[in-house]
Amino acid sequence: MMNTIKALGKQKQSLTVEGQGNKPTKLIENTYRRNTDSDYTEKIEELDRNFNYSSNSNHYWTEPEQSMLYGTPLYESASPRQKMALNHLHWFGMYNVVAASETETITYNQVTASVFAACGYETLSQMLNLETSQERSHIHAFHNVGHKTMKALLGRDAFKASFKGKLYQRTNKDEAGGLTFPSLPNFFNLKWENSLADSQYYVLRFIAKTMLASHKKYYSQYLSELEKTYKFIPASTTGLIGRGLSPQSMQRFFAFNWGGSPFLASQYYGIRIMANMVLKNTEHSTSKYFKKLEKKGDFIPAPTAVSHYHFLDEAFHTTTSMLIARDLYKDFPKPTAYEKFVINLALYMMQHGILSGLSAVVPDRYYADDCSLMYFIYKTLQSPLFEMSPQEALHWVEKCFCQEHQGFHMTAKYHQRLRADFCRFYESFDHLWPVNREMRLMASGGSINKAIQNNIKTFKQFSEAVA
C-alpha cells in the first residue's frame, strides 16, 4: 500500500511540474491568492447575521429600473410604497434563482475538482473548494434576506405552492422535461420523466463511461464516492444550469461526462460562464448603485451591500470560469467527436432553456415562458400590497404580459448586451457548432413581438387554469 501511495505521489508530481509556468496556471494561482486574501464573504456573512427587513424597507435596494413590473402600465399607476416593494421583490426573485444556481455550482465544482487534481492542477482544485465554501455562505444570506422580505411584503401566503390544478401540471411538465429540440435527432426529442428510474440512471452512466474509457484514470472522485454509497447525483430544475439542462436525467448525464474527462471538465466552465454573465449583467448595476450611495454618504441598505460584495466575490468565480473554459482546455488532449458533441449539446440546451425569450415583467430574465411569473404576479396583486380582486388581478396580468410596453424594450436591451458578451467569449472556440458560437437560439428569442405572442397563448391557458 505504501509503495502504491508513493507511486501515485510521483505521478501527481510529474503532472504538476508539467503544468507549471504556463499562462493559465499563473493566472489561476493569482486568482486563488487574491480570492483567499479577500474578505467579501465575511462581510456578506455579517450582513446576513444582522439583517432586519424593517430597517431596510424604506429604501430602494437597486436602481428603480431594476424592479419587478418596471416599465409596465401597472408600475406607472403604482404608489411610491408599491414601487419600492416591487424593487425589493425583484431582489428576492433574482437571488432566489442565484441561490439555486450556486447550489448547483457546489455539486459541479466537486464533480470537476478531482479531475483537475488528477491532472496535476492542485491549486485549481483548492480554488474550487474555496468557491464551494463561499457559495454556502452566499446561499444562506440570499435565503435569509429573501425569506424575511417575502414574509414582510406578502405574508405567509407567499410560501405556499405556486401552481395548482391544470396550471401546475402544465408547468411542471414543461420545466421537468417537456422541452423538445427540433434540430436534434429523435433520441433527444423524447419527453423524459422528471422522476429518474434507476435503470435510466445506470444506462446514462454506462454510456458516458464507455465513451470516455480512455480517460478512466481522471474519473471524478466525487462521482466514485457517490457510486460506493449508491446515491444519485443531486439535480434540480430551479437554478440556471438546472433549468437549462432539464430534465434531471440529462443533468446527471452531463455530470457523468464532466467528471469523466479533463476536456469536458474544463468545458463545464463554458456552461457555468453563462450563469456568471447573466448575474454580472444585473449585479454590475447594483454595485454601481452601492458606490453611488457610498460616495454621497447615504444609507446603504443591507441587501444592496450583499449584492455589492457578492459581485466582488463572483468576479473571482467568473475569472475562474473564463480561464478554465477558454485557456486551460488547450493543455489537454484534443477532444474526440463525442466530447465535442456533449459540450455542444449542453450549450444548445442552455440557450434553449434560459436565453431564448424576453420577460414582460423582469428586466433580466430570458426564459421563453413567463407562465410561473404570471402566477407570482397574479398572487402578488391579490396580496395586502395591492389588495386586488381576482378579476382585477387577471386584468392587469393580461395588460402587463400581453401588450407592448417599455419593460419589454428594457429587457431586450439587457438581452442584446448579454448576447454580445457571449459571442465575444465563444468566438475563439473552434470546437463549437456555429449555432452555439454565434448564440443563434438566443438571437431568435430577442423579439418583442414573439414574446408577446407567446404570452398571449400562455395567458389563455393561465386564465383557464385559475378560473
- Condensed to tens digits (0 to 9), the pLDDT of residues 418-439 reads 999 999 999 999 999 999 999 9
Q: Which pLDDT value is given to residue 5?
A: 28
Residue 408: name the closest of 347, 363, 348 by CA. Answer: 363
Q: Which pLDDT value is given to residue 179?
A: 30
Q: Which pLDDT value is given to residue 159?
A: 57
Pairs from 461-466 (Cβ < 8 Å, separation ≥ 24): 461/166, 461/167, 461/170, 461/371, 462/167, 462/371, 462/374, 462/375, 462/378, 462/397, 463/394, 463/398, 464/166, 465/164, 465/165, 465/166, 465/167, 465/170, 466/167, 466/375, 466/378, 466/390, 466/394
- Largest Cα separation within the chain, whole Å, is 76
Q: Which pLDDT value is given to residue 9?
A: 35
**Are the C-beta atoms of 67 and 400 separated by less than 8 Å?**
no
**Are the C-beta atoms of 396 and 406 separated by less than 8 Å?**
no
The DSSP secondary-structure symbol of 364 reads: T
Taking the CB of residue 357, how many other CB atoms lie within 10 A of it?
A: 24
Angle, CA of 185, 191 and 195, to the nearest 5°: 130
DSSP, collapsed to helix, strand or coil, labels residue 93 as helix
b/e code 298-333 from CB counts within 10 Å (16+ = b): eebbbbbbbbbbbbbbbbbbbbbbbbbbbbbbebbe
Prediction pTM value: 0.87
Q: In this model, does residue 361 exceed pLDDT 60?
A: yes
b/e code 402-423 from CB counts within 10 Å (16+ = b): beebebbebbbebbeebbebbe
Q: In this model, does residue 61 exceed pLDDT 90?
A: yes
The residue ranking higher by pLDDT, 183 or 411, is 411
Q: By 3-state DSSP, what share of the chain in percent is helix, strand and coil, each rounded to 5?
A: 75, 0, 25
Cα separation, 401 vs 72, whole angstroms: 9
Q: In this model, does residue 59 exceed pLDDT 70?
A: yes
Q: In this model, does residue 160 exceed pLDDT 90?
A: no
Residue 61: name the closest of 245, 275, 247, 303 by CA. Answer: 303
Split at pLDDT 50, 70, 90, the class of 158 is low
| pLDDT, averaged across the chain | 87
Split at pLDDT 50, 70, 90, the class of 201 is confident
Radius of gyration of the chain (CA): 23
Cα separation, 140 vs 44, whole angstroms: 10
Q: In this model, does residue 183 exceed pLDDT 60?
A: no
Mean of pLDDT values over 274-299: 96
**Are the C-beta atoms of 291 and 229 separated by less than 8 Å?**
no
Tens digits of residue pLDDT in 110-156: 999 999 999 999 999 999 999 999 999 999 999 999 999 999 998 87
Q: In this model, does residue 226 exceed pLDDT 50?
A: yes
Tens digits of residue pLDDT in 301-351: 999 999 999 999 999 999 999 999 999 999 899 999 999 999 999 999 999
The DSSP secondary-structure symbol of 221 reads: H
Q: Which secondary structure element, helix H or strand E, spans residue 455, and what is its range? A: helix 448-466
